[in-house]
Amino acid sequence: MAHYTAEVPSTLQPQYALQPPSYLQPSSTLQPSFDSQSPFTDDDISNPIHYSRNPRKLIAYLIPFPKPNLHGVDPSTIPDRFLIYTPPPPPLLQVAEGEKEGKVHKVQRKWQNEVRTAKQSTAKTASWKGVKSKATKGISWAMSAVKSTDIEFLNRVSDGNSSEPHDSHADDSRNDSGDETHRTVGLEQMVLIYPPSLGGPEEKIRAEFIEGMMRTKSKATKDAIIATGLLPVSAAIDICATIIWPFGGLLEIDSVWAYSSIRGAKTARSVTKRISSTPTSSDTSKATEKPSSEPSLQLIFISSSRLELLRQYLAVKCSERDVKLFLSPGYRPTESEVLEAIGWTPSQNGGEMRNWEDEQWQTAEVKEDLQQVMKKGARAWDKWVKGFEKNPEKALKK
């Protein structure tokens, strides 16, 4: 692996400018989780960089938002909030011959193929294929834009738990033919990794995580009502615009907004009801929860210095949003460094031969997803901070 050094122009160096984490310094190298020399085993959940596609264990990352530079406001009075990120699942595959493919699975798979064709198209913009590719990419971008980072995460909680994977890094044999409302049942553990700089005891971080889920559930419920009410309007506009714009898109975007909001609200409700606390040295009395009709969900919190790289990446996006409000962190990590820090690798399709083209496509898509999610998070945090500056009490409820 190449060595990395940080060269920060003096004009961009704040007093607290950050340097690359120790594992990116020339004195050390980062060993991917699949490397035979890694001191961690594939099933070792204590590995701070280990990203797994195990349907019974979800790996997610708590990335704290940077404290803003507000005039006359003590940074300690601003609550610690974080963005929750987990990489998207790999592309859906066509089911084996003779098996029945679920409707949702089929629609999602075909749409993923359309998006891939559009992004890889080299057709001229003036041609029919070129216009269609531009329209498909625009609709795909809008579908992502209508979902908040919290809804995005909750939808992936469901997406990652539909069937057993081939190995610890692959989950390509998904089949969505089952009941969508019960897809989180298979999840038994949620491992939440956070940087040491997040601070505070585990109980505080856990409380904020649950409160965040409750806020998301409330907002998702409201969004679902609005989006569902707009469906007839979106359909009417698409039909009327068919003559001049045959590609549609408005109905699809509104449908995704409604579907993701409803699904996110259900997942948030399921997660908060099923959470059970792990025993801690300071308090073991909280380990036993009241009997519930749903299987328990164990939360495991792990502090890892590797998450400092993700914190810096998010801080950069916030600084790009408003450099006066969020000072530049100095070092600017790349998407490749971030993915390597969390141990993400492309999934395999279970065959003997590796498909390098598919792996390259997966990598490009996850890098783009990382950029989009972080930018959405930065935009939302910038809006929240400005609202906090005007009305702190009202902002704390959001």
Alpha helices in 19-169 (DSSP H): 103-120, 128-145, 149-159
Q: Is the pLDDT of residue 48 over 90?
A: no
Q: Is the pLDDT of residue 180 over 80?
A: no
Question: For residues 176 and 18, which has the higher predicted lDDT (pLDDT)?
Answer: 18
Quote the pLDDT of residue 21.
52
Q: CA end-to-end span of the chain, whole Å?
A: 43
Can you tell me whether residue 155 is helix, strand or coil?
helix
State how beta strands 189-194 and 297-303 pair: parallel
Cα radius of gyration (the chain): 22
Count of beta carbons in the 10 Å neighbourhood of residue 285: 8
The CB-side HSE value for 329 (13 A sphere, CA atoms) comes to 24
Quote the pLDDT of residue 349.
64
Can you tell me which residue has the tokens 């399709």? 349
Neighbouring residues of 212: CB distance < 8 A, sequence distance ≥ 6: 81, 84, 150
Quote the pLDDT of residue 230.
81
In the sheet with 275-277, reading across from the earlier edge strand, the strands are: 82-85, 57-64, 189-194, 297-303, 275-277
User: pLDDT grade, residue 294 (50/70/90)?
Assistant: low
Contacts of 1-9 with C-beta under 8 Å, sequence gap 24+, read 1/29, 1/30, 1/340, 4/337, 6/330, 6/331, 8/330, 8/331
Count of beta carbons in the 10 Å neighbourhood of residue 53: 22
Question: For residues 103 and 47, which has the higher predicted lDDT (pLDDT)?
Answer: 103
Q: How far apart are CA 210 and CA 271, in angstroms?
A: 9
Quote the pLDDT of residue 226.
85
Q: Is the pLDDT of residue 280 over 70?
A: no
Quote the pLDDT of residue 308.
92
Can you tell me whether residue 5 is helix, strand or coil?
coil
To the nearest whole number, what is the mean pLDDT of the chain? 76
Per-residue pLDDT reduced to its tens digit, 184-222: 447 888 899 999 988 778 889 999 999 988 888 888 888
Quote the pLDDT of residue 239.
80
Quote the pLDDT of residue 379.
95
Average pLDDT over residues 144-171: 65
Q: Taking the model in full, what pTM does it have? A: 0.75
In what helix (H) or strand (E) does residue 85 lie, and over which residues does it extend?
strand 82-85
Best CA proximity match to 260, nearest among 219, 296, 293: 219
In what helix (H) or strand (E) does residue 275 lie, and over which residues does it extend?
strand 275-277
